[in-house]
Amino acid sequence: MSTHIVADTATLTGRSMRHIFRSTDTIITTAVTPIALMLLFVFVFGGALKQSIGSENYVNYLLPGILLIAVASGIAYTAYRLFNDLQSGIFERFHSMPIARSSVLCAHVLTSLVANGITLAIIFAVGFLLGFRTGAGPLAWLAVIGILLLFTLALTWLAIIAGLSAKTIDGATAFSYPLIFLPFISSAFVPTDTMPGPVQWFAENQPVTSIVNTIQALFAEKPVGTDIWVALAWCVGILIVGYVFAIIAYRKKVS
């Protein structure tokens, strides 16, 4: 049975990935837009912002936030693809075929992880071209990749809820807008202590700041302190809540 699920999930994931590679707008939105933001902040705002972070290499400071923006932007397409499958009738057709039911949902989740992983790799490559440097060892890199994948997985299950519950295509993707905006009110671009009181409180108590701080510390070979545990707690908490409500919504659709 497990082999059956794996094979079905792999086949359906391959189908979704082919659609992604054929869709120019998907590639532009998930990769080019975050890269454009990185170029904007490095070459337009970077000179002024270097003073607030006390470092000459603003790319090192900026990159974690850009990576999270890319993930938040990318998972909107998970909701979009799932919504389209529901509207086109292919969702019901899959469930009428002799395949594992869970493979339909698993394929969308795996597609999100693979597609966002490719986007993150592209952004890392551009970051290196712009001057990103780190002496982090293999364990630190594994920790960074693990956190990014966990964050992607957690947001993907939120996207599954949106894709299953939305009434329109705009409704399916609109949930991602606040997520894309969160890094701008965090430590991703400037330290939180430069912000006014209420904004600083919000920035220091939302998930992106702890994730950004952890990744920055890992790349800078500095102690991560409690930030890593806060980041993991946020990611796991969002993942559990998202998964539970996504499964409830999924069962309503297939019942």
For residue range 168-225, list pLDDT tens digits in order: 888 888 888 889 899 999 988 888 888 888 999 999 999 999 999 999 999 998 998 8
Give the C-alpha separation, 68 to 242, whole Å: 18
CA 251 from centroid of its chain's CA atoms:
25
Burial 207-218 (b: 16+ CB within 10 A, else e): bbbbbbbbbbbb
The stretches in the chain having pLDDT less than 70 are 1-4, 24, 46-48, 50-56, 91-92, 94-101, 254-255
User: Where are the domains positioned within the chain?
Assistant: 2-254
